[in-house]
Amino acid sequence: MKFFVYLISFILILALMGLFVLKKPNGQTWISVNDLLPNTSMIDGKIKSFTGKILLAYESFRSAENNKIELGNEVKIYRWKDSNGNWSYSDKPNASVESKQVFLDPKDIVVLPAFEVPTNDDLLQKNNKALPSSLPTSPSKILDVYKDANNVQKLMDDREQNINKAINS
């Protein structure tokens, strides 16, 4: 039995070593030493791209610090809390409430265009369909559904009361 284990081990080792020697139809060996080594070029590339992004972010931060705007170019606005506790902003101070001055850097201000709510005519032109002029169900059916819902609610309330009575007694 011991001889058999040695023989099988020797055959397996010989088969693994053969993969380094035997060649595929294209002339390359099945396994090479380079296949067993980790692919460091891919890791190096990822590290370089990551450090490049960090350096770019640092440079943009540093240039922003060096190019600070003088106080005269800043935008002056006022803010205050209304009676509901919400902050309100304006370019003029509020006379009825104490307003606090705030200076903003013009480069940090983003102006968004006004949002227009589409009208029914816009929706009709976009979809080329007519909007529904009436409800898909009749009002009498809606009343029936409402009555059924009330009946179900009463049934559930009755069951809950019966369960509570059974638990308490």
Mean pLDDT of the chain: 79
**For residue 117, which amino acid is it?**
V
Kind of pairing between the strands at 100-104 and 75-81: antiparallel
**For residue 154, which amino acid is it?**
K
So what's the pLDDT on residue 10? 94
Alpha carbons 149 and 96: distance in angstroms, whole number:
52
Reported as a single tens digit per residue, the pLDDT across 53-105 is: 888 888 877 766 555 544 446 678 888 888 888 888 888 888 888 888 888 77
8: its two tokens: 């099988």
Question: How far from 59 is each of 32, 33, 65, 120, 163, CA to CA, in Å?
Answer: 44, 42, 10, 50, 71
Reported as a single tens digit per residue, the pLDDT across 134-152 is: 556 677 788 888 888 999 9
Maximum Cα–Cα distance across the chain: 103
